[in-house]
Structure 1
């Protein structure tokens, strides 16, 4: 470790790795450039926005039998949200990056790029390319701005530094092409991970997260809508977009100061089976409903999606359709397919057959979301099913994601949320009830007459069966056939 004095305030600045080029003074946010025998003041950088990530400088873990320590981070913001890139230093001297986006984690390390790579401009979500000997699918393509830095870093970076990156996935393998600098893009390869799988230590505990989150912005966990004043619950530093449930005003919550993106119009509040702010316990995890949106397909069939957040398990979704409820989670490991829209995909050696392929549009949104959402947003959805499990791919021009959902019984939902669940029981209209009783009314009357006639002729049937049965059947037919004809004509007229 090398320790130098900050050229701005004189405080100690530590460099744990010889590969680190720059460090941010934790006292005055000065960017300190390490040069041969000296340090240089590169000016200030914005403080990072304390978010709900449990990772911090000093967090340690194990990956592939190699110990690492988190030494720094940069915070990046793009048009639909923000994420953290944590700089890792391994005990053997190597370094890498831990991507941290809404509770999804990837670890990547710099590799030698292949000779042939696509240009940044030609990349589209869902395209497939053979890279490092495997078929990778483009997961997202984005241009982001640096909005803050912390700790030590392997290159010079400051406010406004622009990152042009494209992420690719192949199963649980992850790959990034970085087009930020002039010349050929940099190649980073790695895997999707969890904090548990890396045996992470020195993580922030839930109480510390709750105490420090949003400290930079100086906001609480509610915000008055700048348009109509309605209080909106949100997670500072984690939810990138707010939509007022009363007036549909869109608010950017990913910058130091909440700003109105677009004003909406006042309207009556919508009815939801799970209201915003409802709290539930899924297993041993506490979750809160922080966002809700309605979507519809090409034919106008609609459904409702509820975004839930838990301090330990991050985000999860509950989806309400005409057929019932399901719970959905974003997938870190993607299924294998021959391309978007393929008739079949494979996950963990199990095949899933294609169900549907349709366009989806957001028709209503309210609450807080970890990406920017607005009415009119379009995605294309591909659904695949095996037994009770559904895999869904949702694609736009710049982003592709997979989710996995399983059915949830209403009784289970009520066990999770108790009295907060307001599932409506469909009411049968009075005219429908009347119509139901009026259906086949003549045939029912005819059957009653026939049964009465048989009862009256029971004794003659016993003593003279052969002749009595003929008259009885003839009389029954004379009663039933006209009744059936009348009911059929009545049904035709109703249609």
Structure 2
């Protein structure tokens, strides 16, 4: 026995398969993985018993590492193990996410898990476990009561343990496939329920940024904000050009030469899935450009790492089609955000851990009331750069936009459903000038960035003039819709020949492929994925 830090004592034994020494940082840990032969070993009195062999870890370039020390809510912890869970969604898309076992100096165990490009710190619920409602039949988005508390069912996936390393709080079942269900509430919490064959395991967590954890002992001894991610170069399966992902959480990367979209969600070894896409618009903000923006009240430097073009799918013949663009922004300590360029202006948003409270078509989130505007199907038509979710061709999501205000600031909420997951995003409007200033765009590009949030924004009209104006608008809209053209002439008439909407529409239709624009916040295909 030897001390391993405050409140920790080590227990050592030999691997029953290869004889290598296996060390338990916590004498309470029920299992560990031999670092030499990958045998999964469980404690059996004062000896070890082998129950199987763990697969090789998927190299996710995580900025975290075993042995890293940190603090959460004033208590110190050490990362002593991790488990990688794999899943397959309803569309057959595979993915993985990682949960790190955090052992606190006072003996308490927690879990630091991936959550939509960010992290959640969670803790298991003490016994007795609450009586659970049916979690397998209700649709995602359904409101449920668990232990007399209201929750919203947010995601449901079938998972299995892909690989493990170090010590875990519970011995994993390496053979079982089981559902993982997540529920979220208006208090910003996420309830994770693992429906294991032996019984349900529940934990509750909250969103956390790595910078808050004061981590030390990371690779190269640097903090996440200073760490230089070591990425592997891979060969594009379409054209053979070299691809080098730069983010630890990249799941899809676009080849800079042939624009093929390559799925690396299952690792960089073996055959990589990809699809080709036609080159369309170039982003107004170049990939790799860094700008300082205020997101959620905090001013940070954000780098453009991804770009996607999206459109809605009209539900009626002759209905106007809307196009918009989303820039994926990255900060090493804060995670990801979206800068959205839509017909009614620019906005910056982030996915949120919790959910708003609902009253009919009205929502309340962080003390602000929101009103429903549009519900529509959104389709991704073109992407560039890197993404923390596996990008698939012609991805579709069901979106609902809500608007609110706080003082003079226009606030936005977006609900996005894809497969068996619902993701919420929150943000606010930002002026074109502020976007240009943040990313150091030349002033002569103002015409390309400026969006009109309202046709009447710069027109002063009396009551009679306003009525006449709207009559003329209705006449024009009737004429446009009556044409029912299958090209982009209606978009040109509405937004102008040189507008981004018209150029994107032309590009979209030439490659063969009405509601407001999306407020961003793309789902990753699983709450902890």
Q: TM-score range by the shorter chain?
A: 0.7 to 0.9
* Residue 431 (structure 1) aligns with: none
Is the Cα–Cα contact under 8 Å of residues 209 and 334 in structure 2 kept in the other structure?
A: no
* Residue 82 (structure 1) aligns with: 96
* Residue 368 (structure 1) aligns with: 386
* Residue 410 (structure 1) aligns with: 432
* Residue 228 (structure 1) aligns with: 239
Greater C-alpha Rg: 1
Q: CA deviation at 1:75?
A: 1.5
Change (3 A) 1:176 1:302: same
Measured in 1, the distance between the counterparts of 2:63 and 2:244 equals 21
- 1:57 matched to 2:66: yes
* Residue 411 (structure 2) aligns with: 389
- 1:33 matched to 2:42: yes
Residue of 327, 351, 355 corresponding to 2:348? 327
Q: CA deviation at 1:126?
A: 0.9
Deviations 1:90-117 (A, max 9, x none): 3443323222232232313134333342
* Residue 333 (structure 2) aligns with: 312
Measured in 1, the distance between the counterparts of 2:185 and 2:341 equals 30
* Residue 283 (structure 2) aligns with: 272
Between stretches 154-163 and 140-149, larger displacement belongs to 154-163
Deviations 1:331-357 (A, max 9, x none): 12432124xxx3211122221222222
Between stretches 160-169 and 135-144, larger displacement belongs to 160-169
- 1:147 matched to 2:166: no
Measured in 1, the distance between the counterparts of 2:60 and 2:225 equals 11
Measured in 1, the distance between the counterparts of 2:337 and 2:368 equals 24
Q: What runs of 5+ residues in structure 2 fail to find an aligned partner?
A: 1-9, 88-92, 315-319, 450-478, 480-492, 494-529
> Structure 2 matches for 1:1-400, cutoff 5 A?
1-63=10-72, 66-78=75-87, 79=93, 81-101=95-115, 102-111=117-126, 112-120=128-136, 122-157=137-172, 162-171=177-186, 172-182=188-198, 184-197=199-212, 200-203=215-218, 205=222, 213-214=230-231, 219-220=232-233, 223-235=234-246, 237-244=248-255, 247=258, 249-256=260-267, 257=269, 259-264=271-276, 267-282=278-293, 285-297=300-312, 298=314, 299-338=320-359, 342-387=360-405, 388-400=410-422
The alignment partner of 1:425 has SS state of: helix
Q: CA deviation at 1:129?
A: 0.7
Is the Cα–Cα contact under 8 Å of residues 95 and 266 in structure 2 kept in the other structure?
A: no
Q: CA deviation at 1:59?
A: 3.5
Is the Cα–Cα contact under 8 Å of residues 110 and 121 in structure 2 kept in the other structure?
A: no
Tell me how large the CA RMSD over aligned residues is: 3.3
Q: Whose RCO is larger (CA < 8 A, sep 6+)?
A: 2
Is the Cα–Cα contact under 8 Å of residues 250 and 260 in structure 1 kept in the other structure?
A: no
Change (3 A) 1:243 1:259: farther
Q: CA deviation at 1:384?
A: 1.8
Deviations 1:421-468 (A, max 9, x none): 9957369xxxxxxxxxxxxxxxxxxxxxxxxxxxxxxxxxxxxxxxxx
Q: CA deviation at 1:169?
A: 0.5
Change (3 A) 1:70 1:260: closer
The alignment partner of 2:447 has SS state of: coil
Deviations 1:49-95 (A, max 9, x none): 45454433233445556544322110123335332111133344332
Is the Cα–Cα contact under 8 Å of residues 45 and 158 in structure 1 kept in the other structure?
A: no
Measured in 2, the distance between the counterparts of 1:328 and 1:80 equals 27
Q: What runs of 5+ residues in structure 1 fail to find an aligned partner?
A: 428-491
Structure 1 or 2: more helix by fraction: 1
Q: CA deviation at 1:303?
A: 0.1
Q: CA deviation at 1:27?
A: 4.1
Q: CA deviation at 1:130?
A: 0.5
Is the Cα–Cα contact under 8 Å of residues 98 and 108 in structure 1 kept in the other structure?
A: no
Normalization by structure 2: what TM-score? 0.70
Is the Cα–Cα contact under 8 Å of residues 240 and 372 in structure 1 kept in the other structure?
A: yes
Measured in 1, the distance between the counterparts of 2:332 and 2:378 equals 30
Change (3 A) 1:426 1:90: closer
Measured in 1, the distance between the counterparts of 2:13 and 2:279 equals 61
Measured in 2, the distance between the counterparts of 1:420 and 1:52 equals 35
Aligned length: 417
